[in-house]
Amino acid sequence: MIDEQAGGQAEAKESFTPTQIRLLKIAVVGMGIIIVFALIAILARIFYLATARTSPGPASGVAQLAPNLRLALPAGAVVRNISIAGDRLAVHYDAASGSGIAVLDLAAGQPAVRIQIVPEVGR
């Protein structure tokens, strides 16, 4: 800028020294490299998590799942509903003999409880 009051002579504002400019360039390039590596690491982690096979934790009971599970239902039974909680599988079914609920212990591979649903008897 030109300072008109100083006799018309041009005075430059204080600027950076060449050493300061060089250090600033090094800092900017270094931070740029860090950002690029961080983005690559984030994308690699997302790709790994999206493609990795996950196994449920031991709390879900699936890790201790017994092989070759079988649940015998009455002949002609129709499964109406299935639900799972922890290591128990509840199967609600309808059969000619009546409705029922069979609870299977997934860890042991054995039926835990069988509940027969019967109509209430009039009083």
Q: Is 90 exceeded by the pLDDT of residue 119?
A: no
Domain hosting 19: range is 4-51
- The reported pLDDT for the residue numbered 74 is 84
DSSP string for 96-112: TTEEEEEEEETTTTEEE
Asked if residue 103 and residue 81 are part of one domain, the reply reads yes
Total structural domains in the chain?
A: 2
Q: Is 90 exceeded by the pLDDT of residue 72?
A: no
Asked if residue 66 and residue 17 are part of one domain, the reply reads no
Q: Which residues contact 96 (CB under 8 A, 6 or more apart)?
A: 74, 75, 76
The predicted model gives 15-21 an average pLDDT of 93
Least confident residue range of 28-42, 79-93, 106-120: 106-120
**Tokens 């309808």 belong to residue:** 94
pTM: 0.44
